Chain A
Amino acid sequence: MNKTHNQKAWFMVLPVVLLVAFSAVIPLMTVVNYSVQDTFGNNEFFWVGLEWFEEILASNRMHDALGRQVIFTTTILLIEIPLGIFVALHMPKKSGFWSSICLVLVALPLLIPWNVVGTIWQIFGRIDIGLLGYTLDQMGIDYNYTQDSFAAWVTIIIMDVWHWTSLVVLLSYAGLKSIPDAYYQAAKIDQASRLSVFRYIELPKMKGVLLIAILLRFMDSFMIYTEPFVVTGGGPGSATTFLSIDLVKMAIGQFDLGPAAAFSLIYFLVILLISWVFYTVMVHSDKEAGL
């Protein structure tokens, strides 16, 4: 399309620029401001440079929270992505009554507000009034997610799998449906086994969609806050205190604005870096595929 050169178009962009500047840039700059200053109390601040950053990067508490977060994210990705692809391979392919029913039921957990998910699972896991807790108790398994850190981890991981696997299922299903039938017919002529069809036709064609799914799940699980907070509030002791829960404890519980601001900047930059890596990989693989 031919674009005309017209400087007056700036007036149309101005409202967006002002709104974004007011609601995004100014708070970000405030956080940067807090991260390089310390306070005597009574709203008096003085410059300390990078002291908060050094203290945060060396603190054991942050390393523990980061370790827990990495373990959580890795486990979640390892469970959800294969399970999502597996379920998507078995969804009904013809667009008819059953495929619509399956799509609606599969998408249902995605629509629930996140703290409601936390509340559902909190009650679901209780031994006295929850189905899961009661069943496990009747089977004789020792299950108490408020006191046992392994049970707390298992509960949070299963809750996240329940909540978000459907996203991977829907994205993979969309990717699978876009493969033209000619590929499957060629595979039938060659008498390829089901596993070969998956490895050589379906997986390469789904690569773009899978990268998006992995990126979305990685970012979401790295930033997870409401669901573990509602179910365990940080876990027995600090067993399920992930990065964001730790950050909020520091910022609002202890009101240490300096370290909290430094922490949030580091958090933001880590997520930005990894998203950039994913984005570069995606764009590179798109170019290879000739798109």
Chain B
Amino acid sequence: MGRILIIAEQFQGKLKASAGELLSAAQQIGGEVDGAVFGPGSGDAAKELAGYALGKVFAVDCGCEYSGDGFAAAVSDAISAGGYDFVILMQTSTGRDLGARLAARHDGAWINDVIGLEGSGADVVARKPLFAGKVISSVKFSTESLKVLSLRPRNFDALAASGASAPIEQLGGGTQCLASCTVIEPKEAGFIDLKDADIIVSGGRGIGNAEGYSVVRDFATEVGAAMGASRAIVDSGWIDHSYQVGQTGKVVNPQLYIAAGISGAIQHLAGMQTSKVIVAINNSESAPIFRIADYGIVGDMFEVLPELARQIKAARQ
């Protein structure tokens, strides 16, 4: 059996629940599992992580919020000394970055954005979308060196902490960081990340102009949804790129995706077609989005969205 290191995430000392997804993937591969968590606040988060039935937990603090080279350097000796075969992280802005750095540092291999695993040990086959999801590929490792996997969020059943306790080892003191992030400005209060969202509402050209996006924003606030956008309105400068869903934006996987005033270009569909339920609202009944929507309403999004928010809130009471 192999040895596996899961690298969990934390923000301001609080462990992210995706730790349970990492453990789930580790158990699928099989082997002895240790954990690591990085950054300021890693001490507190490591105590939480220690509750996940792990052999031991590394708390790594290099004196900055994030550094690809620094974090990799800080944990590299422990990876070699511990004889780890696998490192598993989340496919997030920092997880994808650190995973790539670690794979290269150990002259190993990297499979990212994993949505499923079959088999176990070194023969494990990972399912990974290509072309933003237009194709689902099966990928294998062919190496004795370090194998690094990053998991697309919300694709593995998150295991709960078992309450067991693992020893914690501190790492990172004295690490030289070549490129370091010292400040993270938290998003506005109430902001829901597209990747974490159960409900997403996205606006397209149907909003008419930049001001029209307020109908999407209002819906999101009322219902507690994350906000998305089509490439068309990002390219028109109506909304920031961080909201874009699709092939050159974010790939999302919510329970409910509401596409309002979006025609449904193939690069947009690639980013949201794995949503559990898709609702399309468009005033043109020939819009291609209706071909992949579970439910469609032909109508004016400026009338439908506020009414939908009102009725969803009423239904929840």
Q: Do A and B bind each other?
A: no
B interface with A by C-beta (< 8 Å):
none
